[in-house]
Amino acid sequence: MENKKSFEERMAHLNELVNKLQDSSIPLDEALNLYNECITLSNELKSEIDNAISTFTIIKENQEEDF
């Protein structure tokens, strides 16, 4: 069973990847791989944020209906 990292751990990993990309001395192939990993990870994180916002909105609307 795969042990999924927390949102915060994945966000920190994304920041590490971005820092590596900012190093102009890395080879092009490595930069392309890092860029691809950044895009994949940022899309996953964005999806998780979107889901959290949807959940928050539903909870908020339910709270407003109770008043």
1 pLDDT higher than 70: no
pLDDT of residue 24: 87
* Backbone region of residue 31 per phi and psi (left: phi > 0; alpha: psi in -120 to 50; beta: other values): alpha
Pair of tokens at residue 36: 């691809």
| 21: CB partners within 8 A, 6+ apart | 31, 34, 35, 38
Nearest to 34 by CA among 47, 23, 48: 23
By the 8 A CB rule, do 49 and 15 touch? Answer: no
Nearest to 5 by CA among 48, 54, 66: 48
Q: Where are the domains of the chain?
A: 7-66
pLDDT digits (tens, 9 = 90+) for 6-62: 999 999 999 999 999 999 899 999 999 999 999 999 999 999 999 999 999 999 988
